[in-house]
Amino acid sequence: MFDTIVIATDGSESVRRAVSVALDLAERFDAAVHALYVVDEGEVESSPDQVREEMRAALDDDGRAALEDIETAADRPITTAVREGRPATKIREYATEHDADMVAMGTRGRHGENRFLIGSVAERVVRTCPVPVLTVRQLDESEHDGGDGVRDAAASA
């Protein structure tokens, strides 16, 4: 059912559960895994001219660290990539270029709860991506995650 899964990360805490769920699916279906980080050109371009290159380099470093975290969590070799541009557009393009069967991502990114239920990037990807998008929300402290990214049924009873 799934041959290629793209995990979109921004390096935030909220993406960890999405990574766990996506890696579990990849293992179950023996799917190839691609992890993608997008340096947001909007963040770079909105920074002052004198620090723009430093901002780009810092975001690139953050991306490489986020991808290393996914590589460490994976029990298989994965393909990683850093792209620069508008995150939703680059995620959609990457999924299309690599003939992905699914994109997995968190619902809230580094900018926190700036959207009511789902982050603006996740919302755009869900609306525009030609392949299914699995959005995985971060559990609240009152909810229990058994460590496999799946909510513990006993905790919800």
The pLDDT tens digits for 16-48 are 999 999 999 999 999 999 999 999 988 888 888
Q: How many domains does the chain have?
A: 1
Using DSSP bridges, classify how beta strands 4-9 and 133-136 pair: parallel, antiparallel or unpaired. unpaired
pLDDT score at 24: 96
Residue 151's identity, in one-letter code, is R
Q: Give dist(CA 109, CA 113) in Å, integer.
A: 8
CATH number at residue 130: 3.40.50.12370
Q: What is the pLDDT of residues 126-147, one digit of tens each?
A: 999 999 999 998 755 555 555 5
- Secondary structure element (H or E) that encloses residue 17, with its range: helix 16-29
- Secondary structure element (H or E) that encloses residue 154, with its range: helix 153-156
Q: Tell me the mean pLDDT in the region 108-127.
A: 66
Residue 35 forms beta bridges with which residues? Answer: 7, 80
Domain extent for 80: 4-156
61 pLDDT more than 70:
yes
Q: Give dist(CA 138, CA 58) in Å, integer.
A: 25
Residue with tokens 């299309």: 96
pLDDT score at 115: 41
**Between residues 6 and 45, the one the model is more confident about:** 6
Q: Give dist(CA 26, CA 67) in Å, integer.
A: 16
- The reported pTM is 0.82
Which range among 36-40, 121-125, 143-147, 153-157 shows the weakest confidence by mean pLDDT? 153-157
Buried-exposed string 13-34: b where 16+ CB fall within 10 A, e elsewhere: ebbbbbbbbbbebbeeeebbbb
